[in-house]
Amino acid sequence: MSATKVRTGPLAVFEANLLAGHVALVTGGGTGICRGIAQAFAACGADVCIVGRKGEVLAQTAAEMSAATGRDIFFVPCDVRQPDAVADAIAQTIAKFGHLDTVVNGAAGNFLAPAAALSANGFRTVVDIDLCGTFNVARAAFEALRLGGRGLIINISATLHYGGTPLQIHASAAKAGVDAVTRNLAVEWGQFGIRVNGIAPGPIAETEGMRRLAGSAADKAKASVPLGRFGAIEEIAAAAVFLRSSAAAYITGTTLVVDGGQSVVAAAAHMMMT
């Protein structure tokens, strides 16, 4: 298919076809932040496969993304909790595009629940999707990532677990584990030319999480960000394109926080600033 049609906003700084010849598989790529990452990769010339649980959502997203970028977007319905299904999605992507050099682990489940009312299965479900799913995909992609000599895994994390976050014990525990996976795999797989990094988004507009915040809660959330605004999906996507680019060739084992400074505000800061 023809090359890039659309690179706007934060993505405009990247050269068209920056990622030509790259093949990326993006879990959770049907919606939200990971849809934005998948589209940015395609807009920079990569071949992209999006993975998610709902085939109809993937099909619609792939069609829209294809229209926006002028590229053929592949999709495979798959639950990242199922290692065999994950292995099959990776095999299909390689069969379609010839190889695989980039994996973005973005599939995540979440809901608000007080710890005292959360069932064991509710806790386990989110850990299964976010943490075990990240491991399943990385493990299944290892051989393909190793073969090309320029493998990259990007694990989508969060900032929830940098402190205690009410109603988020399950997601916080899962994302803390995801950060551990990022560091461990970076150490073990660096010798194979595989870089492993994370991105920890702060409050990002037009995402499911932010849609659930309404009225004064949204205003308060915005006020908690030093830069004074929510981030844009394209700003997370730009971080992902940077990590995939050769400009990040010596970066591994780190999680890039993209949150407008929200997570570095000290608890006592509100006493000093009015």
Which residues contact ligand HXC by CB under 6 A?
Answer: 108-111, 113, 119, 121-122, 125-126, 129, 158, 160, 171, 208-209
CA gap 180, 37 in Å, rounded: 22
Shortest reach from residue 178's CB to ligand HXC, in Å = 10
Bridge partners (DSSP) of residue 50 are 26, 75
Angle at the Cα of 34 from the Cα atoms of 225 and 3, rounded to 5 degrees: 120
Nearer to ligand HXC, 163 or 271 (CB): 163
Kindly tell me which of 39 and 262 has the beta carbon lying closer to ligand HXC: 262
Q: Which residue has the tokens 């992209």?
A: 48
DSSP bridge pairs for 154? 104, 197
How far, in Å, are 17, 112, 234 from residue 224 at the CA level?
37, 20, 21
**CB of 133 vs ligand HXC, minimal distance in Å:** 10
Minimum CB distance to ligand HXC smaller for 67 or for 112: 112
Q: If residue 235 lies in a helix (H) or strand (E), which one and from where to where?
A: helix 233-244
Nearer to ligand HXC, 9 or 122 (CB): 122
Nearest distance, CB of residue 172 and ligand HXC, angstroms:
9
Q: Report the residue number, 70 or 122, with the smaller CB distance to ligand HXC.
A: 122
- Alpha-carbon gap, residue 133 to 107, rounded angstroms: 8
* CB of 130 or CB of 234, closer to ligand HXC: 130
Considering the complex, what minimum distance in angstroms separates the CB of residue 168 from ligand HXC? 7
Between 45 and 202, CB nearer to ligand HXC: 202
Crossing angle of helices 133-148/83-97, nearest 10°? 30
Q: CB-hemisphere CA count at 13 Å for 77?
A: 8
Indicate the helix (H) or strand (E) that contains 141: helix 133-148
Distance in Å, CB of 1 to ligand HXC, minimum: 30
- For 93, residues 6+ apart whose C-beta sits below 8 A from its C-beta are 23, 25, 49, 74, 76, 100
Tokens describing residue 106: 């973005």
For the CB of residue 122, give the shortest distance to ligand HXC in the complex, in Å.
Answer: 3
Q: How far is the CB of 223 from ligand HXC (least distance, A)?
A: 16
Sequence-ordered list of residues with C-beta below 8 angstroms from that of 112, at least 6 positions apart, any chain: 167, 168, 212
